[in-house]
Structure 1
Amino acid sequence: MGAIRAEFLKLKRSLSWTVVALLPLMAVATGVGNTIVSGQQLGDGWHTLWMRVVVFYGLFPLAVGVAVLASLVWRAEHQGGNWNALMGRSTSGLTVVAAKTAVLAVLATALQAVLVIGVIVAGKVVFGLPGFLPPRYLLVSAVIVVACLPVAALQSALSMLMRSFAAPVAVALVGAIAGVLALMLGPDVLSTALPYGLVGQATQLGTGVFADDGTVSAAAVAVPVAAALVLTAVVVAGAAAVLERRDIG
Structure 2
Amino acid sequence: MLTVCIKAEHLKLKRSFIWIAFFLLPLIPALMGSQNYLNNLGVLSAEWYSLWTQESLFYSNFFFAPMIAIYCGYLWRVENFGHNRNALLTYPVPVRNIFLGKMAAAFSVSILTQVWMFFLFLVTGKAVGLTGLPPAPIFFWMLRGTLAALAITALQTLLAMVIRSFALPVGLSAVGSILGLVAVNSQKAFLYPYSLLILGMNANRDKDMVDSGILFFASSLFYLILFAFLGIWILKKSDVKA
> Structure 1-normalised TM-score?
0.87
Task: Give the 3 Å change call, closer, same or farther, for CA 179–39 of structure 1 in structure 2.
Answer: closer
User: Of residues 14, 17, 20 in structure 2, which corresponds to 1:15?
Assistant: 17
User: Of residues 40, 47, 57 in structure 2, which corresponds to 1:45?
Assistant: 47
Match of 1:164 in 2: 165
User: Of residues 234, 238, 242 in structure 2, which corresponds to 1:246?
Assistant: 238
How many Å separate the matches in 2 of 1:106 and 1:64?
Answer: 15
Query: How far off is 1:227 after superposition?
Result: 1.8
Q: State the Cα deviation string for residues 61-93 of structure 1 (Å, max 9, x = none).
A: 211221122111211212354222112122222
Query: How far off is 1:230 after superposition?
Result: 2.0
Check the 8 A contact 1:69/1:104 in 2, yes or no.
yes
Q: State the one-letter code of the partner of 2:159.
A: L
How many Å separate the matches in 1 of 2:83 and 2:174?
Answer: 30
How many Å separate the matches in 1 of 2:58 and 2:31?
Answer: 12
Query: How far off is 1:28 after superposition?
Result: 0.4
Q: State the one-letter code of the partner of 2:223.
A: L
Alignment pair present for 1:197 and 2:195:
yes
How many Å separate the matches in 2 of 1:175 and 1:5?
Answer: 30
Query: How far off is 1:220 after superposition?
Result: 4.4
4+ long deviations beyond 4 Å:
none
For the residue of structure 1 that corresponds to 2:14, the secondary structure is helix
Query: How far off is 1:14 after superposition?
Result: 2.0
Q: State the Cα deviation string for residues 97-140 of structure 1 (Å, max 9, x = none).
A: 1111111211111111111110111111x212111111221111
Match of 1:233 in 2: 225
Q: State the one-letter code of the partner of 1:202.
A: G
Query: How far off is 1:174 after superposition?
Result: 2.2
Alignment pair present for 1:128 and 2:129:
yes
Alignment pair present for 1:35 and 2:27:
no
Query: How far off is 1:24 after superposition?
Result: 1.8
How many Å separate the matches in 2 of 1:128 and 1:238?
Answer: 48
CA RMSD of aligned residues (A): 2.1
Match of 1:106 in 2: 108
Query: How far off is 1:206 after superposition?
Result: 8.9
Q: Unaligned regions of 5+ residues in structure 2, if any?
A: none
How many Å separate the matches in 1 of 2:134 and 2:223?
Answer: 30
Q: Which moved more, 1:222-231 or 1:149-158?
A: 222-231
**Where in structure 2 are the equivalents of 1:85-96 lying within 5 Å?**
85-96=87-98
Match of 2:174 in 1: 173
Check the 8 A contact 1:143/1:221 in 2, yes or no.
no
Check the 8 A contact 1:143/1:224 in 2, yes or no.
no
Check the 8 A contact 2:56/2:204 in 1, yes or no.
no
Task: Give the 3 Å change call, closer, same or farther, for CA 240–4 of structure 1 in structure 2.
Answer: same
Q: State the one-letter code of the partner of 1:92.
A: P
Query: How far off is 1:228 after superposition?
Result: 1.2
Check the 8 A contact 2:95/2:232 in 1, yes or no.
yes
Query: How far off is 1:17 after superposition?
Result: 2.1
How many Å separate the matches in 2 of 1:206 and 1:15?
Answer: 30
How many Å separate the matches in 1 of 2:122 and 2:102?
Answer: 31
Q: Which moved more, 1:23-32 or 1:45-54?
A: 23-32
Match of 1:211 in 2: none
Alignment pair present for 1:139 and 2:176:
no
> Structure 2-normalised TM-score?
0.90
Q: Which moved more, 1:229-238 or 1:83-92?
A: 83-92
Query: How far off is 1:238 after superposition?
Result: 0.9
Task: Give the 3 Å change call, closer, same or farther, for CA 173–84 of structure 1 in structure 2.
Answer: same
Task: Give the 3 Å change call, closer, same or farther, for CA 14–223 of structure 1 in structure 2.
Answer: farther
